[in-house]
Amino acid sequence: MITNTEIEYKGNLYPNQIVDFKQETDKFYFTTENGVILEITVLRNSAIRFRYATDYRFQPDFSYAISPTASKGYNQLESEETSTEYLIRTSKIQILVDKKSLRVQISDLEGNIINEDESGFHWEENHEHGGNNVKMSKITQTGESYYGMGDKATHTNLKGKRVSNWVTDQYAYTKDQDPLYKAIPFYIGLHNNIAYGIFFDNTFHTCFDFSHERRHVTSFWADGGEMNYYFFYGPDMGRVVRAYTDLTGTPELPPLWALGFHQSKWSYYPESRVKKLAKKFRDLKIPCDAIYLDIDYMDGFRCFTWDKKKFPDPKRMIDELYKDGFKTVVMIDPGIKVDRNYWVYNEALEKDYFCKRADGPIMQGKVWPGECSFPDFTNPEVRKWWAELYKELIAETGVHAVWNDMNEPAVMEVPSKTAPLDTRHDYDGHPCSHRKAHNVYGTQMVRATYEGVKKYVYPKRPFVITRAAYAGAQRFTSTWTGDNVATWEHLWIANVQVQRMCMSGMSFVGSDIGGFAEQPNGELFARWIQLGIFHPFCRVHSSGDHGDQEPWSFDKEVTDIVRDYLELRYQLLPYLYTMFWRYSEDNVPMLKPLVYYDQEDPQTHFRTDEFIFGEEILVCPVQEPNAKGRRMYFPRGKWYDYWSGELIEGGMEKWVLADIDRIPLYVREGAIIPKYPVQQYVGEKEITELTLDIYYKEGVEKSTVYEDAQEGYDYTKGYYSLRNFKLNGKEKELIIQQFKNGTYITPYEHFRINLIGLPFAIKAIEVDNVEVPLKQVKPNGDNTIMVHKDFTELHIIGA
Ligand code: GLC
């Protein structure tokens, strides 16, 4: 029962008194005296949608964020009315709606409060623009922490902070600067070992106050639209993040090469320079899969054109690069140059595809080419047209992938840095101003790009990248953290931003390694590479006007370090790919902050630096110059030092060594880490064996290796290889069982198994219950054994 109902609200006592209640299957409607309707929809046992109308009217129900394949369904739903409240109960939670105040309280079935309204829903009329500013305030529970919210460049734990969402071109942003390029109005609350999430699906400018203004209150509000939020119950954080990610969707698997290393700069031109760059990678044997062409490849920054002086025959160049393993990625911006001699401009003009101002003129703003107009990507017809524009670039010229930038949209030389707020948008048939469409503009652009690239690279898989994003953009695209700076502080920022993005449903993310603005010294570059190889998207990019940022631009020591770490990235590709598959399939974030990994341990609630890469690898970047080591926190459990094999007991902070060539790296005991041989690019070599690094543990652990053709869509027809391993370690034996799924035949025949941390000497080995001569499986006599890939049980017996 809600006790403190004696709240004064707008001078009236209890204006929100419920006067009408109605249930329609999974929807509940509560109408108040003053015309508010609360609609509660039960989506899943632990996922509930709350929507509030004023003046008895809901707005049309439309969202760009929600995935069409989001899961639905619950197995229990009851409701009940008492003299003071309504109760809705699922098999996991109970929602209480107070009759006098419309305030909501959500608890688990034991009665532990998960989340409760303070004032709850309130609003103010917006006289200037119409509609309301809609607000929600919640009680901050004792010891509550907050996470998520996209790309905020601030401490992982948002407690005590206020942040806002308005996608913004923020060149050389600083720590704590807000807002940046993404608008992901989703947060996770954690208190009393209960985690829950709230996704405020409102595309207007939104603000979130996490006990910043008032210590006991957390609130969020928007400059327009509806109070429309989704609530997800854990109690563990993993469930919350997965439920949000399920609702807003995940990407298909990318081509494996997209998980390789990418080299970019503003800009590589002309062709001879690009060729030299490519050759240098191969000469120095530094792995690389993709080269980026920034805006200068275009003719006067006109999208979908080439500067033929710089690139006389792009198709030939792209083919030649490809023969050497390089994929070419090109930039496309939303601003279309106002130019009567430019076919894209003319076509859009003719078809009436540009955004217009309130009173009718076409919206214009300056970007790289000068005056530009901007296609209205919120119009499905415009998206279709835009997708078709890629035909020439992809199908004819052979470009492999596309990079969408400046799609906030960024407009130069105006204080707002973007389109005027009165600019009109179709919004898929719900016409509105830029106030509502701004945060989704970039996502709708990259969505159209994705459709086009997908169509024209088919039967291969598309790869696209965007700078601006709203919640749900992850269904179409990867992203990077925008124009960062080559400073040590930005290395820290990159680390928290990428972890935060992973918690916010968008795992396919990385930073401009080395920093976009200014120039790193060799040490910073090396440290950034050491972190960057553990980011799902791994690309060096820089503004290019402060000096070079290729792996060999510093001294030989740095080049060697960069090579070693990129080689490690390429070795870990099957592990990374399995991470991606889990993300795509089961909504699991690819990186996990320690609080996600072990929320029960309060030590994790304020950690920023350490994270779990996938399921089993603990990474802690060095973020200071001249370091020979650092302190780091080991989560509970036992961890093997990747470099030395030493076993470390977690649950404590420790000093670890980390000279310039070492990043602190640990593997959870019981893990099985798959590795490929080093390649200069994905597909360079036929994989003739899969290495499995098996980290002994006393007890049982499970792990998975997912593989497929690394390209194309056959995997969707069952043509994949899924290996589930069960490890069972005892004092004098180790048993590995394999359960296989899928019809893809991997090209290798054998596993090369490295047994790490075995507490006993090997006396005998049985494969599927048949003892095999040790010489046959252990040719080198060490703890490496060669076993056929189809074994079902491997039994290692100690002396
Ligand atoms: C923007 C992008 C940057 C790009 C530059 C030129 O600043 O964020 O990555 O290099 O524009 O296109």
Helix (H) or strand (E) holding 565: helix 556-571
Cα–Cα distance, 71 to 67 (Å, whole number): 9
Instruction: Tell whether 662 and 726 lie within a shared domain.
Output: no
Nearest CA-CA partner of 346 in 394, 304, 397: 304
* Minimum-distance ligand 1 atom for the alpha carbon of 265: 10
Q: Are residues 598 and 466 in the same domain?
A: no
Q: Is residue 319 part of a domain?
A: no
Mean pLDDT of 37-66: 97
What is the tens place of the pLDDT at every residue in 687-723? 999 999 999 999 999 999 999 999 999 999 999 999 9
Cα 70 to middle of ligand 1, angstroms: 34
Residue 93 located in a structural domain? yes
Domain boundary among 221, 248, 275: 248
pLDDT digits (tens, 9 = 90+) for 194-237: 999 999 999 999 999 999 999 999 999 999 999 999 999 999 99
CA–CA distance, 109 with 475 (Å, rounded to integer) = 34
Nearest to 607 by CA among 559, 552, 651, 647: 651
Is 571 within the bounds of a domain?
no
* Backbone angle region of 397, left / alpha / beta, with phi > 0 → left and psi within -120 to 50 → alpha: alpha
Residue 380 Cα to ligand 1 middle (Å): 27
Residue at which a domain ends, from 479, 512, 540: 479
Distance from the CA of 405 to the center of ligand 1, in angstroms? 7
Decide if pLDDT at 266 tops 60: yes
Same domain, 215 and 335: no
Q: Taking CB atoms and a 6 Å cutoff, what residues make up the pocket around ligand 1?
A: 266, 294-295, 331, 405, 467, 482-483, 541
Residues 664 and 690 in one domain: no
8 A C-beta contact, residue 688 and residue 747: yes
* Confidence band of 1 (pLDDT split at 50, 70, 90): low
Which among 739, 699, 701, 702 is positioned nearest to 723, based on CA atoms?
A: 739
- Residue 349, pLDDT score: 98
Work out the average pLDDT over 505-515: 98
Residues 117 and 149 in one domain: yes
Model confidence over 614-627: pLDDT tens digits? 999 999 999 999 99
Q: Which of 330, 403, 516, 540 to mutate to test the pocket of ligand 1 (most atoms within 8 A of CB)?
A: 516
Predicted confidence band at 544 (pLDDT cuts at 50, 70, 90)?
A: confident
Q: Band of the pLDDT at 547, cuts 50, 70, 90?
A: confident
Q: Pairing relation of β-strands 113-125 and 132-139?
A: antiparallel
User: What pLDDT digit, counting tens, does each position of 338-396 carry?
Assistant: 999 999 999 999 999 999 999 999 999 999 999 999 999 999 999 999 999 999 999 99
> Does the pLDDT of residue 10 top 90, yes or no?
no
Same domain? For 186 and 89 the reply is yes
What is the maximum span of the chain, computed from C-alpha positions, in angstroms? Answer: 87
**772 shares a domain with 628:** no
Asked whether 500 and 595 are in contact (CB, 8 A), the reply is no
Q: Looking at residue 681, what is its pLDDT?
A: 98
304 Cα: distance to centroid of ligand 1 (angstroms): 17
CA distances (Å), 47 to each of 73, 197, 248, 443, in order? 10, 9, 13, 25
Q: What is the mean pLDDT of the chain?
A: 97
Report d(CA 32, CA 10) in Å as an integer: 15
**Looking at the predicted structure, is the pLDDT value of residue 761 above 80?**
yes
For residue 543, the ligand 1 atom closest to its alpha carbon is 10
pLDDT on residue 6: 44
- 601 burial class (0-12, 13-18, 19+ CB within 10 angstroms)? middle
* Residue 192 lies inside a defined structural domain of this protein: yes
Q: Determine, yes or no, domain membership for 645.
A: yes
Which one is catalytic: 226, 408, 426, 693? 408
Q: Predicted confidence band at 5 (pLDDT cuts at 50, 70, 90)?
A: very low
Q: Give me the residue label for tokens 């997800």.
A: 232
Domain that holds residue 633: 591-668
The predicted model gives 485-501 an average pLDDT of 98
pLDDT at 15: 67
pLDDT for 8 beyond 80? no
Q: Which two tokens stand for residue 723?
A: 């290996």
Question: Averaged over 37-42, what is the pLDDT?
Answer: 98
Looking at 151, 333, 483, 693, which residue is catalytic? 483
Q: Which amino acid is located at 684 in the chain? A: E
Of residues 405, 451, 609, 707, which has the active-site annotation?
Answer: 405
Both 632 and 706 in one domain: the answer is no
Q: Which residues contact 234 (CB under 8 A, 6 or more apart)?
A: 46, 194, 195, 196, 197, 240
Task: Name, in order, each residue with C-beta under 8 angstroms of 416's C-beta and a sequence gap of 6 or more.
Answer: none
Same domain, 58 and 206: yes
The token pair at 694 is: 């098996």
**Measured distance CA(292)–CA(267) in Å, rounded:** 8
pLDDT of residue 16: 86
pLDDT at 11: 40
Write the CA distances from 156 to 147, 485, 605, 664, integer angstroms. 6, 20, 9, 20
Residues 611 and 716 in one domain: no
Interacting residues of 66 by C-beta distance below 8 A, sequence separation 6+: 201, 247, 248, 249, 472
* φ, ψ for residue 458, nearest 5 deg: -50, 140
**Tell me, what's the pLDDT at 231?**
98
pLDDT of residue 2: 57
Distance (angstroms) between ligand 1 centre and the Cα of 154 equals: 22
Q: Identify the pLDDT of residue 781.
A: 83
For the residues 161-170, what does the mean pLDDT come to?
A: 98
Residue 408 annotated to the active site: yes
Q: Which of 460, 479, 498 is the last residue of a domain?
A: 479
Query: How many structural domains does the chain have?
Result: 4
Question: Residues 665, 632: contact at Cβ < 8 Å?
Answer: no
Nearest ligand 1 atom, CA 544: 10
Given this model, what pLDDT does residue 658 score? 98
Listed in sequence order, the DSSP H helices in 299-410 are 314-323, 343-351, 380-390
